[in-house]
């Protein structure tokens, strides 16, 4: 580890911290339907859309109505995206004449983009037409992100309201998320990316003659626009197969930094929205504090592991950090940081090959996702996932101070505990369950790229990434098989909606509750003690479940590496 | 805590008493019945697992499996885990059972003298168990009151030791707030007619028996929520453990089922699961030992959540008796004359106020108390009409009473005189005098006293200052409550000025002066509308609506039937200050559950480090590095973990029954403290415990 590396990491953290409050202020106004500086421009568009769709933006929806609207909307998005892929050959904007996508791959990809996972079992530049990329994938990038934001806002309303029936209007929240938050930011970001050299064209690939005289096809396309939402919406689906390791998708250190900041921007900002909406910004900072603690711990381990390098390589006389699978432009610090950022949030974009990370370096992204991506997390999804853990934490803490547990003046009762534990439970069930089946299924095993514990980690990583809606991959697993397309699709669906529905039920029951006054007997939830307890509960309840799996994967691999063993020869 | 309240009943056995331990040991086995176990999801899962592994073990024995000794020990400890859990519950129930047995004795069949009608003189002897609601019975000296009821005629002294443990007899009389009688208590003198208010089998004693036995115990809301959390954690660990065989199959190895079972049982929250119902029963038991009967566990839990405490001034905050503290004569009257007249007027006044006036006059001016007989004086008692009392000595007439009553008496044309308003009609007292006496009265009221005017022969002499005596130590109790986050409101019939002064002296947060029952009810409703939980105590029939409305309503045992029915707790000692202890017990109950849950979950860290390297060692010897406790062998590691897991239940039984001590230090410091002890302690203790057990069992050669 170098001071330079740490300075870069801390600069990143400082920049993220700096935008939390302004972005939180802006989003709070947007979702309250208040005026912002963009209103003169966007309000007519917004009203026009409501009129067109016949929606009354002021109509309050019951949590079930809200959730059903969200499900219907997502189902429609899925069907459209599936259809676009299946018939892309017959559709316009296909200069490379891509063939129709296979049914299982189309299913996987459609689920993947609707659930904000963006697991890619396809190579973008070699599979999808520009139409699918733009109208299908990029549109879903916006909509799945907006869905996450809307759901988080709805859950926060559950805490900020008292004795209320409704938790907001799904259609209005969606419209505002896209129109006021995602679109303006993406336009600015796309322009910056173009300025730094990211392609934005509808032209076909370019054939060039290389210096050696060989022929090479250089894929281009509408990259900058997709790149902007890919990061901002924590989607992570790259235009190119190499994702943000590709020079066109991540041309320089500045773009790399901007990409990482935009992954965290909205997720971090939403914690502030939470604080503002419940009338005490400190509540939001405390949540962000717990996230920051877990994040910095993760970065420290990953950077330490990567910068320390591989003893097996050192033994060959090659000093230095682990540079296998990394861009020299980014080095160990920025690669480790990017990997932790992308898995802490549910982005899944990568600028280095995670499979080539040191065992412990690769374990951090795995743990980030196993915890349910609550460290900043996916836009919206991170906040509502974290709030589920807060409910469990406050339940135990409340009992320990001798009162019926409460959070922000709302009593936590059997129903909320049931829903929170159901949501928290669904992730390990899917992640471990599918992995357990896959590692004893020959079809699934044939996709594994490396023998031994590393191969186990590849499979585990795939299902963890799918269920957590992350989408990053331990590159060496060949996922485009009917088995993985279908099972990963199922993991993504369960991981998304089995968390969302309970979270919405909690939003509804919380909104309906009375608000209790704060007294000296109330445990304050904005201090270090709360943060510490929350982190403890997350690690013990969310993390210990995976200890056996981690022991058989990265941990045993790590212990072998330091003992000078490798599993390469026959495993 | 006030030792007077902590008075245990002499008959209550201690926890290590054989009369509790022996039946509890038997109950540990009988409670293995799956139909009973299923109420406790965590332990039920353990039982299912233990049964299955036992079957597998029997099969292994028959077909000749390997490492039978190891399997046998694990299975043995699984059953021990279950027995220990049952034992904890049985011990908690034991004390209640002992008490129930003594209560049952009082319920022995009594013959009731059933009257043909309320006014009738003739009665027929019927068994007490046949009495219906509405029947009227005659109870005479020496009779046991056959069932719960209300005195409709007569007055009697009753020995209620059977339910309160207090042997001093109490007076029960028709009308008023002392009309309720309890079946099983005994009339010592005189006779009463009682209208039966309880159906057979649902009398107060029946309910008490059910409560202390835990027969009618239902899970409280927080207990249900906690059970859901524990069940959820159990499912998570089912997944975590059930997926291991396929993970290891991938790695090319197998793990014996018995080891997986051991891992699973140690990971699921068995510690709290085993102790959960014991904690609940012990909470109720603590209340019973305070001579408070909670009608439901829900009420005990609600007590821990109370935000506002409504306390009656008299008897709770102040001593029941006011004391005379000074004489304030009118201009032109000497203090001694006033004292003399006041003493004469009070000679026959047996109220504590009256006696205190006699004493004060003697102390201040050496005026010796005279005998009424020597003076040929006639005592004029206090009546609701005149609202005065006094004495007539020959021609001389002395009266004392509230200032407005005396003024009304002195100037009959002014019925009621409001403060500051000058009299418009000429009277025996001039306007100046009225102003002067009002000024004195206000002065006294502001200081928290009650003014008592004295007049002799139509002349206003002055005012006696009566003062409420705030109970010693009560201010500190209120400060403690404030620390707990509980607001205290004093309820009093006094005027606002007096109330404010006493409130300030006692240190309550707020007061409700000149309170009527309706005011009380309105106050409770408005507090509840703000989302607060309210506790109060009361005894009179007019308290019943407020008792019913309050979240925690403690009825005094001396109170009326209506009050007792309306409240959700009954205080057998009829001591209103007990509300404070009740709140503490409620908090203690929740804290004990929370702390042991934290402890139970924290334990998992050490158990993983004991078992994971042990079960994976055969597949990946490198994982031996995780054996940070350096446990001797994989078998000894697994065995130590499961033994620790079982023994910790026994070790924590005393804590579960005693409860985690509540400290009024504010929520955050309290949580920090409990987290350090039960959270951090929960992580560290099993590392030490498992290592110690490992050393022991390897030394004696068990593994």
Partnered with residue B153 across adjacent β-strands are B193
For chain A, give the mean pLDDT.
Answer: 91
Q: Please, where are the H alpha helices in A468-553?
A: 482-512, 528-537, 547-550
SS3 per-residue string spanning B192-223: EEEEECCCCCCCHHHHHHHHHHCCCCCCCHHH
What are the structure tokens assigned to A201, written together? 């064209």
User: In 3-state terms, what secondary structure has residue B326?
Assistant: strand
Write out pLDDT tens, residues B422-472.
Answer: 444 344 667 788 888 888 888 888 887 888 889 888 788 889 888 888 877
- Cβ distance of B229 and A392 shorter than 8 Å: yes
Q: What is the mean pLDDT of residues A127-149?
A: 91
Residues of B in Cβ contact (< 8 Å) with A540: 601-602, 604-605
- Non-local (6+) Cβ contacts of B600 within 8 A are B269, B270, B271, B272, B273, B682
Q: What is the mean pLDDT of residues B303-309?
A: 88
Question: What per-residue confidence (pLDDT) applies to B233?
Answer: 93
Cβ B309 vs Cβ B535: under 8 Å: yes
Determine the residue among A372, A391, A403 to mutate to test chain B binding: the one whose Cβ has the most chain B Cβ atoms within 10 Å.
A403
* Residue pair A160/A48 in contact by the 8 Å Cβ criterion: no
Residues 278-307 of A with CB under 8 A from B: none
Of A403, A425, A533, Cβ closest to residue B232: A425
Give the model's pLDDT for residue B384.
63
* Chain A hits for B679, Cβ within 8 Å: 533, 536
What pLDDT shows up at residue B318? 80
Query: Quick one: average pLDDT of A436-442?
Result: 93
Q: Please tell me the predicted confidence (pLDDT) of residue B216.
A: 61
Residue with tokens 């520009």: A130
Name the one residue in this structure whose structure tokens are 């005659």: B138
Tell me the chain A residues in contact with residue B235 when contact means C-beta distances shorter than 8 Å. 425, 429
Name the percent of chain B lying above pLDDT 70. 91
Residues 467-506 of A with CB under 8 A from B: none
Cβ pair A404:B625 closer than 8 A? no
- Say how far apart CA A143 and CA A179 lie, in whole Å: 11
Q: Any idea which of A289-293, B69-73, B140-144, B264-268 has the lowest mean pLDDT?
A: B140-144
The partner residue sitting opposite B224, judged by closest CB among A395, A414, A439, is: A414
Long-range Cβ pairs for the range B31-34 (8 Å, 24+): B31/B86, B31/B89, B31/B90, B32/B82, B32/B83, B32/B86
Within an 8 Å CB–CB cutoff, is residue A398 touching chain B? yes
| Contact assignment for A437 to B666 by CB distance below 8 Å | no
**pLDDT tens-digit profile of B17-71?**
787 888 889 999 999 999 989 989 999 999 999 999 999 999 999 988 778 999 9
Taking CA–CA distances from A405, the nearest residue in chain B reads B222
As given in the structure block, the two tokens for residue A275 are: 């604080």
Per DSSP, chain B holds a count of helices (H) and strands (E) of: 26, 20
Nearest beta carbon to residue B247 from set A398, A421, A548: A548
Higher pLDDT among residues B685 and B348, named by residue: B685
Structure tokens, B422? 């000058």
Name every chain A residue with its beta carbon within 8 A of the beta carbon of B244: 548
Of A392, A402, A560, the CB nearest to B590: A402
Tens digits of residue pLDDT in A65-90 = 999 999 999 999 999 999 999 999 99
Q: For residue B526, what are the contacts with CB-CB under 8 A and spacing of at least 6?
A: none
- Taking CB atoms and an 8 Å limit, are B674 and A400 in contact across chains? yes
- Rounded Cα distance, B382 and A311, in Å: 101
Interface mutation target, options A388, A395, A401, chain B, most CBs of B under 10 Å: A401
Please enumerate in sequence order all residues whose Cβ is within 8 A of that of B218, keeping only pairs 6 or more positions apart, or say none. B296, B297, B298
Query: B465, B467, B504, B511: which is closest to B488 by C-alpha?
Result: B511
Mutate to test the interface with A, among B667, B681, B686 (most CBs of A within 10 A): B667
All residues of chain B having their beta carbon less than 8 Å from the beta carbon of residue A433 are 239, 243
Residues 6+ apart with CB under 8 A from A191: A224
CA dist B73 and B575 (Å) reads 54
When pLDDT is cut at 50, 70 and 90, the band that residue B650 belongs to is very high
Domain boundaries, chain A: 389-562
What does the buried/exposed string (b/e) look like for B88-104 if buried means 16 or more CB atoms within 10 Å of the residue's CB?
A: bbbbbbbbbbbbbeebe
User: Which residue from B485, B589, B672 is facing A519, i.e. has the nearest CB?
Assistant: B485
Q: Which residue of B has its CA nearest to A562?
A: B622
Catalytic site residue from B143, B177, B285, B312:
B312
Q: Distance between CA A361 and CA B289 in Å, rounded?
A: 58
- Nearest alpha carbon to residue B531 among A415, A157, A162: A162
Cβ pair A556:B616 closer than 8 A: yes
Please tell me which of A464-468, B195-199, B282-286, B665-669 the model is most confident about, judged by mean pLDDT.
Answer: A464-468
B10 has pLDDT over 70: no
- Mean of pLDDT values over A443-448: 88
Distance CA B636, CA B697 (A): 7
Coil, helix or strand at residue B314? strand
**Rounded Cα–Cα distance for residues B128 and B201 (Å):** 11
Q: Measured between CB atoms, which of B586, B602, B675 is closest to A540?
A: B602
Contact A421 B229 (CB under 8 A): yes
Beta strands in B132-267 (DSSP E): 136-140, 149-159, 170-173, 180-181, 186-196
- Highest average pLDDT, of A417-421, B12-16, B475-479, comes from A417-421
pLDDT digits (tens, 9 = 90+) for B485-503: 888 999 887 788 888 888 8
The DSSP element (H or E) to which B322 belongs, if any, is: strand B318-329
Neighbouring CB atoms inside 10 A of B201's CB total 9
- If you ran DSSP here, which 8-state letter would residue B688 be given? H
- Alpha carbons B211 and B199: distance in angstroms, whole number: 17
Q: Is B305 an active-site residue?
A: no
Tell if the CB–CB gap between B616 and A552 is shorter than 8 Å: yes
B606 vs A contacts (CB less than 8 Å): none
User: Which of helix, strand or coil describes residue A404?
Assistant: coil
pLDDT score at A15: 97
User: Which of residues 414 through 453 in chain A touch B, CB cutoff 8 A?
Assistant: 414, 417-418, 421-422, 424-425, 428-429, 432-433, 435-437, 439-440, 445, 452-453
Helix axes B41-63, B221-242, angle to 10 degrees: 30
pLDDT band at B560 (very low <50, low <70, confident <90, very high): confident
Give the 3-state secondary structure of residue A136: helix
Contact call for residues A238 and A315 (beta carbons, < 8 A): no
Task: Lowest mean pLDDT of A536-545, B237-246, B473-482, name the range.
Answer: B473-482
């Amino acid at each position: 580890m170098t001071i330079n590396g740490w300075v870069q990491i801390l600069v990143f953290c400082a920049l993220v911290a700096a935008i939390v409050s302004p972005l939180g202020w802006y989003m709070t106004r947007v979702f309250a339907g208040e005026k912002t500086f963009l209103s003169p421009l966007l309000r007519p568009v917004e009203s026009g859309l409501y009129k067109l769709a016949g929606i009354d933006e002021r109509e309050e929806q019951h949590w079930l109505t809200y959730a059903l609207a969200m499900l219907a909307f997502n189902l429609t998005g899925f069907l459209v995206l599936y259809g676009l892929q299946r018939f892309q050959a017959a559709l316009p904007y296909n200069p490379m004449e891509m063939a129709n996508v296979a049914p299982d791959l189309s299913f996987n990809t459609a689920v993947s983009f609707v659930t904000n996972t963006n697991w890619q079992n396809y190579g973008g530049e070699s599979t999808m037409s520009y139409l699918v990329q733009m109208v299908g994938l990029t549109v879903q990038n916006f909509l799945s992100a907006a869905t996450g934001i809307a759901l988080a806002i709805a859950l926060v309303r559950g805490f900020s309201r008292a004795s209320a029936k409704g938790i907001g209007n799904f259609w209005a929240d969606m419209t505002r998320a896209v129109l006021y938050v995602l679109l303006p930011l993406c336009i600015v970001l796309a322009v910056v990316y173009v300025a730094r050299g990211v392609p934005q064209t509808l032209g076909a690939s370019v054939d060039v003659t290389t210096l050696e005289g060989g022929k090479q096809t250089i894929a281009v396309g509408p990259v900058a626009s997709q790149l902007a939402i890919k990061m901002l919406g924590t989607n992570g689906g790259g235009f190119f197969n190499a994702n943000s390791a590709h020079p066109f998708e991540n041309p320089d250190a500045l773009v790399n930094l901007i990409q990482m900041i935009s992954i965290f921007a909205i997720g971090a900002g939403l914690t502030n929205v939470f604080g503002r909406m419940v009338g005490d910004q400190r509540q939001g900072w405390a949540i962000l504090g717990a996230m920051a603690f877990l994040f910095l711990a993760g970065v420290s381990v990953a950077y330490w592991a990567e910068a320390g390098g591989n003893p097996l390589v050192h033994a060959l006389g090659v000093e230095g950090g682990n540079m296998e699978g990394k861009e020299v432009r980014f080095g160990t610090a920025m690669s480790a940081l990017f990997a932790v950022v992308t898995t802490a949030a549910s982005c899944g974009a990568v600028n280095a090959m995670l499979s080539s990370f040191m065992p412990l370096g690769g374990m951090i992204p795995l743990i980030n996702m196993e915890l349910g991506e609550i460290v900043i997390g996916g836009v919206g999804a991170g906040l509502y996932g974290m709030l589920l853990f807060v409910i469990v934490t406050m339940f135990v803490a409340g009992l320990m101070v001798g009162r019926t547990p409460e959070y922000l003046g709302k009593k936590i009762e059997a129903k909320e505990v049931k829903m929170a534990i159901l949501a928290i439970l669904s992730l390990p069930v899917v992640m471990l369950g599918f992995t357990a089946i896959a590692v004893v299924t020959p079809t699934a095993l044939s996709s594994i790229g490396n023998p031994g514990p590393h191969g186990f980690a590849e499979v585990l990583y795939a299902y963890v990434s799918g269920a957590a809606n992350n989408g990053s991959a331990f590159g060496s697993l060949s996922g485009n098989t009917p088995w993985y397309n279908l099972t990963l699709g199922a993991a993504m669906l369960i991981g998304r909606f089995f968390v969302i529905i309970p979270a919405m039920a909690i939003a509804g029951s919380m909104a309906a509750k009375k608000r209790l006054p704060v007294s000296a007997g109330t445990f304050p939830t904005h201090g270090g003690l709360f943060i510490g307890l929350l982190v403890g509960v997350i690690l013990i309840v969310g993390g210990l479940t995976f200890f056996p799996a981690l022991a058989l994967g990265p941990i045993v691999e790590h212990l072998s590496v330091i003992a000078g063993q490798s599993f390469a020869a026959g495993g | 805590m006030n030792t007077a309240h902590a008075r245990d009943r002499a008959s209550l056995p201690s926890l290590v008493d054989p009369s509790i331990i022996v039946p509890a040991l038997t109950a540990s086995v009988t409670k293995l019945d799956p139909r009973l176990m299923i109420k406790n999801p965590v332990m039920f899962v353990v039982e299912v697992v233990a049964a299955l592994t036992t079957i597998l073990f029997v099969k292994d024995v028959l077909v000749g499996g390997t490492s039978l000794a190891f399997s046998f020990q694990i299975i043995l400890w699984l059953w021990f885990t279950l027995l220990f859990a049952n034992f904890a519950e049985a011990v908690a129930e034991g004390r209640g059972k002992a008490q129930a047995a003594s209560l049952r004795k009082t319920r022995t069949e009594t013959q009731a003298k059933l009257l043909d009608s309320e006014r009738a003189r003739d009665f027929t002897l019927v068994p007490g168990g046949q009495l219906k609601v509405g029947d009227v019975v005659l109870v005479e000296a020496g009779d046991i009151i056959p069932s719960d009821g209300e005195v409709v005629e007569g007055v009697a002294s009753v020995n209620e030791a059977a339910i309160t443990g207090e042997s001093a007899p109490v007076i029960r009389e028709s009308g008023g707030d002392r009309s309720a009688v309890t079946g099983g208590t005994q009339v010592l003198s005189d006779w009463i007619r009682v209208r039966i208010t309880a159906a057979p089998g649902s009398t107060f004693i029946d309910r008490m028996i059910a409560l202390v036995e835990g027969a009618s115990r239902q899970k409280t809301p927080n207990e249900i929520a906690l059970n859901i959390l524990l069940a959820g954690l159990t499912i998570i660990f089912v997944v975590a453990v059930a997926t291991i065989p396929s993970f290891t199959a991938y790695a090319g190895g197998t793990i014996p089922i018995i080891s997986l079972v051991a891992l699973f049982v140690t990971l699921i929250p068995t510690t709290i699961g085993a102790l959960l119902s014991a904690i609940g029963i012990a909470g109720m038991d603590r209340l019973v030992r305070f001579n408070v009967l909670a009608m439901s566990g829900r009420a005990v839990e609600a007590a821990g959540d109370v935000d506002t405490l409504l306390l009656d001034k008299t008897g709770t905050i102040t001593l029941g008796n006011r004391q005379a503290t000074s004489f304030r004569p009118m201009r032109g009257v000497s203090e001694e004359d006033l004292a003399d007249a006041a003493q004469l007027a009070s000679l026959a006044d047996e109220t504590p106020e009256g006696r205190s006036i006699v004493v004060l006059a003697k102390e201040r001016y050496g005026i010796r108390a005279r005998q009424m007989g020597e003076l040929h004086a006639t005592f004029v008692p206090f009546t609701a009409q005149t609202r005065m009392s006094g004495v007539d000595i020959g021609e001389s007439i002395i009266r004392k009473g509230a200032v407005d009553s005396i003024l009304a008496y002195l100037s009959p044309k002014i019925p009621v005189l409001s403060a500051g308003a000058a009299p418009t009609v000429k009277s025996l007292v001039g306007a100046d005098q009225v102003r002067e006496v009002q000024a004195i009265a206000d002065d006294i009221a502001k200081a928290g006293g009650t003014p008592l005017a004295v007049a002799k022969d139509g002349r206003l002499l002055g005012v006696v200052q009566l003062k409420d005596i705030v109970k010693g130590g009560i201010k500190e109790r209120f400060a403690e409550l404030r620390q707990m986050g509980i607001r205290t409101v004093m309820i009093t019939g006094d005027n606002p000025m007096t109330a404010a002064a006493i409130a300030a002296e006692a240190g309550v947060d707020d007061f409700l002066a000149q309170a009527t029952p309706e005011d009380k009810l309105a106050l409770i409703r408005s507090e509840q509308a703000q989302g607060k939980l309210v506790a109060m105590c009361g005894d009179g029939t007019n308290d019943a609506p407020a008792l019913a409305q309050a979240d925690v309503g403690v009825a005094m045992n001396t109170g009326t039937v209506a009050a007792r029915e309306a409240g959700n707790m009954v205080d057998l000692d009829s001591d209103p200050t007990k509300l404070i202890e009740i709140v503490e017990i409620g908090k203690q109950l929740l804290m004990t559950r929370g702390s042991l849950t934290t402890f139970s979950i924290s334990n998992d860290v050490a158990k993983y480090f004991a078992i994971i390297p042990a079960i994976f060692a055969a597949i990946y010897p490198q994982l031996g590095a995780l054996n940070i406790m350096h446990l001797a062998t994989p078998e000894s590691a697994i065995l130590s973990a499961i033994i620790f897991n079982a023994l910790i239940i026994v070790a924590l039984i005393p804590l579960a029954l005693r409860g985690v001590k509540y400290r009024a230090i504010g929520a955050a410091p309290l949580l920090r403290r409990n987290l350090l002890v039960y959270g951090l302690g929960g992580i560290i203790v099993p590392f030490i415990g498992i290592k110690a057990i490992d050393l022991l069992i390897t030394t004696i050669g068990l593994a």
